[in-house]
Amino acid sequence: MKKKNKLRFIVGALLVIIALALGVVLTNTGGEKSETISVLMKDAVLHEENKMSLFGIADVNPSVISGFVVTAILLAFAAAVRVFAIPKFTYIPGKFQLLIEKLVGFFDDLAKSNSPHRNKFLGAYVFAAGVYIFIGTIFELFGLQGVTTTGMSMALPAPLSDINGAISIGCLSYLVILGGGLVSNGLRGVGQTLKDFSLPISMSFRLFGALLSGLLVTELVYYYIALSFVLPVIVGVLFTLLHALIQTYVLTMLTTVFYGEVTEPRKGEAHVRAPKRKKSTPSVTAAQNIIKPVSRVE
């Protein structure tokens, strides 16, 4: 039985390889590409060629349209959960309630562990930023189409694959850290935050570089006909999910760690109250006044 299973597996694998080879040969008509690979790669980074109209107001990068779509989806989903799901939450959670609680609890624990002194707003922010990065990264897997100003149809990219989107969320995280330092430690917290002036740059380019690398690899695979069978599915899903998970964790972790550093009180400034002196009761005070004259007489 084992030999038969192995033989079937080998035969099936050979048939798949032959089918892929035939697909490459039959679909390779030898026609020229409308864009060279260098132009395609450059446009994936700078978005100079393919533009989309934003409500007829201006021509913008496709990632801007993706950002609006992702934001609208998240706001609609949050409103629906708040109105229809949360009022029905029970003491014994169901599957959806358990998923929401685990997700919120993960980011809340991340904020509390790295910033034990001040973490209420931090937990809410890293939750929002993490969800936006994850959903925004896997957004390109859905293949939603948009029409460029030249009339060509193209799939909407991830919002953070544009350098402007990555810089925006990196600078926003830095401002949250700066605000936490100002509220907690005043000018000292501000100075401690400004000391790491390269932090928003590193956070932005780390996020942008990771997402851009996956985008370029996927574009390269789709460009060549010999690689455009089955492989794009594996590469696209693998790179997208891996980058979504890693970059969500990295940015939220860095934000909470630096936030915890700038909000930490100075040594010796711990809020420890000195023990209060016990007030003597009237009876004890009166007794002391009586004893003192007696001792003097003696």
pLDDT tens per residue, range 264-276:
887 655 544 444 4
> Residue 175 falls within a domain, yes or no?
yes
Structural domain boundaries, residue 119: 36-265
> Residue 15 falls within a domain, yes or no?
no
Task: Give pLDDT, residue 298.
Answer: 38
Task: Give pLDDT, residue 123.
Answer: 93
> Residue 275 falls within a domain, yes or no?
no
Task: Give pLDDT, residue 32.
Answer: 44
Question: pLDDT category, 117, cuts 50, 70, 90?
Answer: confident
> Residue 25 falls within a domain, yes or no?
no
> Residue 99 falls within a domain, yes or no?
yes
The answer to whether the predicted template modeling score (pTM) of the entire model surpasses 0.85 is: no
> Residue 166 falls within a domain, yes or no?
yes
Radius of gyration over alpha carbons of the chain, in Å? 30
Number of domains in the chain: 1
Task: Give pLDDT, residue 271.
Answer: 46
> Residue 18 falls within a domain, yes or no?
no
Question: pLDDT category, 54, cuts 50, 70, 90?
Answer: confident
